[in-house]
Amino acid sequence: MASSDWTIKPAPSTSEVDASLRWVVFTLTAKSALWLVVGSFLTLLASVKLHAPAMMSTASWLTYGRLLPAGWSALVYGFLGQAGVAVGLWLLARTCVQKLQTPLLVVLGGCLWNLGVLAGVIGILAGHSTGREWLEMPAGAMAVLVLGAGVIGTAGWVTYSARTESSPYPSAWFVLLALLAFVWFGTVALMMLGGEGARGVVQVLVQRWFAEGLLKLWLGALGLAVILHELPTLVNRPLASRQLALVGFWALVFFAPWGATGHGDPVPRWLVSAGIAGKTLATVGVLAIGLNLLKTLEGAWGTLFGTLRGRLIGVAALSYVGGGMLQFLGSLRSVSSVVGLTWFHAGLEWLLVGGGVMLAVIAVLPETFERATGRALAPGLISAHAWLTMVGVILVAIPLLLAGVVQGSALAKVAGTYMESLQGSMHFVRLSSLGFTLFFIGQFALLAGVLNVGREMLMDFVGIAKGWAAVPGDRKGVGARS
């Protein structure tokens, strides 16, 4: 591909690029903030019910088994699926030096997406969960999500295709991957799990392949797109190696979803071996990313952690790389025999999704919002949101990981009753409830900020409309043409 192909296209200015995302970023962020409040409330309720299981037990929709998947779905699909994509599209447009193409498609896709999440969360609470982790939303709701993702993804890919920058920054690859990955994993999972598509444990393999794919190549890719973009910017250095980023990218694309099986699973041995090999090779990708960030950051840790935004990105990067390493360790026979099927699994998901992705997204969301809409979120609210979310996520993930180790160690010894063996780990689970509480409180700050900007935009709109209405009729046409 000749480089001259790229130079003949006029590159839009940065402000033009930002302006092309105005409604996309505003609508996606506003709706995502609402889901964040809903999701954090449902997960907090679920967490509290572990300590007070008899509380609110008369309503079926308030049972733990419905609250937790509904809350998780609201956070993952409702919040990250929109805020992450809004930030991702902004990074894509910026790195491709091109205005977002067909923004209306994104707004339309966003509406579909919200319909899907709404139907899905209500469906789970109403007892229509599919019983498959990460895929709990009823198939119809998931199909609407896939359609919405396809519509949004098309706009992203068209923007990439129309780029004026021949070799976009690596973040662009990760955004493109995320946009394609959701459609791919969602479509295949829906097709294979519908009707009699998969029997027996093949259903589990499809579900876990889907979950691994979404965790690493949808959410993980969005998180990495932000981290790879932000971390060098914050320390004012170029990324150490584009090649290393490329190694990480392709290693993750090819190997990450293989990690669907592990030791002790009721599947043929070759599948266990393939799963562990996949996890190992995907770890090469995580290490390549980690090494790249480490080299970029050499001697500049203080600079990074000197700002709130830097702290968020720093903790996100540590969570991503640390979570990747822990996942690899957890796949080893000696470790998985202890932590398998314990709280460790939940802690790891919170570390990777809450820490690695959510913190990265909320670090850059205020700037994305301000650049695209031309209005800043109140600094106090940004700060409160960032701190409460960061401390909350850490206080959820770390105690759950520790609870897993304590629980696994206790279960390895057969003594007393099962409940007695669980008691030790419950102290850590209680601590995680504190994290859920902070996390929940923090989300009101973001919602308040976004709603405030929405109110301002509405007032402006009303002001413009009133001004236009006040102009004498014979001058309106002149004004419109000039």
Partner 1 sequence: MGGGSRRPERSGGSLVNSTPLVFLGILLGLSASWWGMVVAPKWQLGTGSTVVAKETGQHYPSARPGLAQQGAQIYRSEGCNTCHSQVVRPEGFGSDLGWGWGRRRTVAQDYLRDQPVMLGTVRVGPDLSNIGSRMGAGDTNAQPAMVAYHLKHLYHPRSVMAKSVMPAYPYLFEKRPVNGAPSVDALKLEGEFAPEAGFEVVPRPEATALVAYLLSLRSSISLPEAPVVPPPTNGVAVATNATANPAR
Q: Decide: residue 409, CB within 10 A, 0-12 exposed, 13-18 middle, 19+ buried.
A: middle
Is residue 280 part of the contact set for partner 1 (CB under 8 A)?
A: no
Residues 6+ apart with CB under 8 A from 159: 89, 92, 93, 96, 98, 99, 100, 101
Residue range at the interface with partner 1 (CB under 8 A); choices 163-171, 312-320, 390-398, 440-448: 163-171
**Residue in 417, 474, 475, 477 binding partner 1, rule: CB under 8 A:** 417
Q: How far apart are CA 361 and CA 42, in angstroms?
A: 21
Is residue 261 part of the contact set for partner 1 (CB under 8 A)?
A: yes
Give the chain's length: 482
Residue range at the interface with partner 1 (CB under 8 A); choices 93-101, 305-313, 389-397, 460-468: 93-101
Is residue 308 part of the contact set for partner 1 (CB under 8 A)?
A: no
Smallest distance, partner 1 to C-beta of residue 208, A: 8
Asked if 391 contacts 385 with a C-beta cutoff of 8 angstroms, the reply is no
User: 430 or 441, CB closer to partner 1?
Assistant: 430
Q: How far apart are CA 467 and CA 474, in angstroms?
A: 15
Q: How far apart are CA 279 and CA 262, in angstroms?
A: 9
Q: How far apart are CA 364 and CA 245, in angstroms?
A: 20
Task: Annotate 1-38 with DSSP letters as a single string.
Answer: --THHHHTSPPPPHHHHHHTTHHHHHHHHHHHHHHHHH
Smallest distance, partner 1 to C-beta of residue 147, A: 19
User: 34 or 353, CB closer to partner 1?
Assistant: 353
Residue range at the interface with partner 1 (CB under 8 A); choices 24-32, 102-110, 203-211, 461-469: 203-211
Residues 6+ apart with CB under 8 A from 163: 6, 96, 97, 98, 172
Pattern of binders to partner 1 over 454-473, x per CB under 8 A? --------------------
Phi, psi angle pair for 304, to nearest 5°:
-65, -50
35-74: contacts with partner 1 (CB under 8 A): 49-51, 53-54, 57-60, 63-66, 68-69
Smallest distance, partner 1 to C-beta of residue 113, A: 21
User: 23 or 64, CB closer to partner 1?
Assistant: 64
**Residue in 45, 76, 177, 402 binding partner 1, rule: CB under 8 A:** 177
**Residue in 44, 137, 253, 394 binding partner 1, rule: CB under 8 A:** 253
User: 236 or 482, CB closer to partner 1?
Assistant: 236
Residue whose tokens read 């097709």: 191
114-143: contacts with partner 1 (CB under 8 A): 124, 127-133, 136
